[in-house]
Structures are given as C-alpha cells and as structure tokens.
C-alpha cells in the first residue's frame, strides 16, 4: 500500500496530508478565510503569497502528526489543475522540489478527482461504478465514475456553480464571506416555503429541458429581485426573520434542483450509489433532501465528513495513492493549469486517450 505526502494549494487553503491508501494519517489545513473575508472573496495574489508563507510549516506539521519520516514516504503529490495558477505553482513547486531531494516519484493530481476520492476516505469499501455529484464554489457536475482516472461528465452547470450562487446570495443578504456556511446556519431558523423561487432549468434546442444540467443564474437574479421588492416594502434593513426565510427558501431551491438531477441521473444509468464531493456537500439542506430522496429510490448516498468537503490534501493524497499503485507517475516537467477537463486526468501522467 502506497504512502503519499500530498499538497493542495489550488485556491485559498494551504493543506498537506500523509495518506496510506485510503487511510488519512494526517491532514493539516491552514485556512486563509479570515484574510480574504475583508475583500468579500479570494484575491489570487494574496492567496499565492500566503501559500508561500505557510507551506514549509504545514509540510513539517503533517509529517510530525503522521509519525512518518521521508524514508516511509513512497511518493509526493500536488494538485496541478484546475485552480489559481499562482497558488497551484506554490504547491507543485514544493512537491517537485521534495521529490528531487528525497528521490521520490512525483504525481500531479486533478483537483476535481480529489473531491471524488474524498468519499473513499470515510467509506473505503466504496467501489466504481457510481455517480459523483460534485458541488463547489467553482464546479457543479454529475460524473460517472468508472475507475481510477476514467470519468464521464453527464451533467454540469451552464452558468454559476452552486457554491458561487451561495456566495453571491449571501452577499445580497449582507451575510459576509464565505456564503455557504452563513446561509446554511441562518436557514435553520427560516421557513423554506416562505418564498417560491425558480428551479433554473436548461432548455434543449429540440424542446424540453436537459435532465442533468443545472443553471443557478436565474435563481440568483430571482433572489435579487425579491430582496429589492422587500426592501421597497420594508426599508433597506429587512427584519432578521425575513432574511432567514430568504436564506432557507434559496437553500431549499438549490437542494431540490441538485437532488432532482442526481436521482434522475443515477436511475437512468442504473447506478446504485451516489457520492457527494465539494464544499456544498457540507450543506445540511442538501444532505437531508438528497438522503431522503435517495432512500425512496433504494439508492445509497455517501457524504464525506465535513473536514473532507472543503479543499484538503487528504483527498489529493487518496487519489495519488491509487494512481501510484497503478504505476502512474508524472514528469517533473509537468506544469500547472487553471483549467483541465476531468476527462483529461490521465494526461497528467503522460497517458493520452485512445483516438
């Protein structure tokens, strides 16, 4: 079983983990949320500088907590795509340097593949094929997981990602950053049936609607118009309970839209399991709505623990360990990329798809 030290710096979390196959031995996360909160979102240059300041200490702490030395590490991995280029370069450069110094194989990991592997950390017996609903600040996708490195995207958002919509609606409501946890917390005291909000369907050229694709820009606009209408009626300072009702109604609309598409996709493709990944996987409304709907269809749902929903190196290490055991190794000349389709994962190891 491979033991991998993994580094994740794709956005605003500096994280280093030591993973043995599907067991996390340590997972250290240095969060930048307090730094970026003052700007209302992630500032790429600030994120990169913060990674530089914290990366060395985070690596040392991860090794100490795992009680491992370099002789017990089989490979060194880092997220190489997609993400903020400057941030990715910090983690990838650190990993390559360590690989050269300690003469270990280097593995470049796709960030979204890491989110798929987050479910393996808490449910090691989970095996493909299964459906992954990946919902984060930058991505909302339904992915058929066939095997390690073999994925087919069946549905995706046509505009805003679900997490992005949470952040934007939170900003409309004056809740601050990050928006997802703020809305989730406030929604606990609100009425999800208080306001009727649109589902956000994607039309097909031949008529009808796409069964798996999502759209959240219309929902975001509907919340904006609702807030403007209520402010005209009640003044700019809306009552706290009314804000809670808006948050609850919005969260319910997102949860129902994601659940509807995930269940339909799993049933249509005869998949018995749905694994959830990404920051929005921590949302209590989505967890409750999807779990209830899946049970009615006889489907299993796998939600990773909250600590593995947001960006972390443990999920990167889990993916890396699987690739390592299959003989997949990256070149030290591998660069970082802001975008890379999930279907191109194997290109990180110099393996191109069959023509």
- pLDDT tens-digit map of 249-275: 999 999 999 999 999 999 999 999 999
Q: What is the pTM (predicted TM-score) of this model?
A: 0.94
Same topology, domains 3-117+309-349 and 128-306? Answer is: yes
First and final CA of the chain: distance in angstroms?
A: 33
Spans in the chain with pLDDT lower than 70: 353-355
Return the pLDDT at 183. Answer: 96
Q: SS3 of 206, please? A: coil
Return the pLDDT at 34. Answer: 85
Q: Which fold has domain 3-117+309-349?
A: Nucleotidyltransferase; domain 5 (3.30.420)
Return the pLDDT at 354. Answer: 58
Instruction: From 260, 314, 265, select the one nearest 290 (Cα to Cα).
Output: 260
Instruction: From 255, 313, 320, 243, select the one nearest 7 (Cα to Cα).
Output: 313
Compute the distance between CA of residue 282 and CA of residue 121 in angstroms, rounded to an integer.
15
Domain extents for the chain? 3-117+309-349, 128-306
Number of neighbouring beta carbons within 10 Å of residue 329? 18
Tell me which CATH homologous superfamily contains domain 128-306: ATPase, nucleotide binding domain (3.30.420.40)
Return the pLDDT at 38. Answer: 84
Return the pLDDT at 9. Answer: 98
Backbone angles phi, psi at 328, to 5 degrees: -90, 120
Q: SS3 of 28, please? A: strand
Whether the CB-CB separation of 143 and 151 falls below 8 Å is answered with yes
Backbone angles phi, psi at 34, to 5 degrees: -60, -30
- Prior bond to 178 cis, omega within 30? yes
Whether the CB-CB separation of 95 and 76 falls below 8 Å is answered with yes
């Amino acid at each position: 079983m491979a033991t991998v030290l993994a580094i994740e710096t794709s956005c605003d979390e500096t994280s280093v983990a030591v993973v043995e196959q599907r067991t996390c031995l340590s997972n250290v996360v240095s969060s930048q949320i307090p730094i970026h909160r003052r700007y209302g979102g992630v500032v790429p240059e600030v994120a990169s500088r913060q990674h530089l300041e914290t990366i060395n200490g985070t690596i040392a702490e991860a090794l100490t907590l795992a009680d491992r030395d370099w002789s017990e590490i089989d490979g060194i991995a880092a997220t190489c795509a997609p993400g903020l280029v400057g941030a990715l370069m910090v983690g990838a450069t650190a990993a390559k340097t360590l690989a050269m110094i300690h003469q270990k194989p280097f593995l470049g990991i796709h960030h979204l593949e890491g989110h798929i592997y987050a479910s393996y950390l808490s449910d090691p017996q989970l095996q493909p094929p299964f459906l992954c609903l990946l919902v984060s600040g930058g991505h909302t996708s339904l992915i058929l997981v066939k095997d390690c490195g073999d994925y087919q995207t069946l549905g995706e958002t046509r505009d805003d990602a679900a997490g992005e919509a949470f952040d934007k609606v939170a900003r409309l409501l004056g809740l601050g950053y990050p928006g997802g946890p703020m809305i989730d917390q406030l929604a606990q005291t609100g009425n999800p049936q208080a306001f009727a909000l649109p589902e956000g369907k994607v039309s097909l050229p031949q008529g009808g609607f796409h069964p798996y694709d999502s759209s959240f820009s219309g929902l975001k606009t509907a919340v904006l118009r609702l807030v403007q209408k209520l402010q005209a009626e009640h003044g700019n300072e809306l009552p706290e309970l009314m804000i809670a009702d808006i948050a609850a109604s919005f969260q319910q609309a997102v949860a129902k839209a994601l659940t509807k598409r995930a269940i339909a996709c799993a049933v249509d493709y005869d998949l018995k399991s749905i694994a959830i990944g990404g920051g929005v996987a921590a949302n209590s409304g989505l967890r409750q709505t999807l779990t209830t709907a899946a049970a009615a269809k006889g489907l299993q749902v796998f939600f990773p623990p909250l600590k593995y929903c947001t960006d972390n190196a443990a999920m990167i290490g889990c993916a890396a360990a699987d690739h390592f055991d299959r003989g997949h190794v990256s070149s030290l000349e591998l660069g970082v990329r802001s975008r890379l389709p999930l279907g191109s994962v194997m290109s990180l190891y110099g393996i191109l798809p069959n023509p």
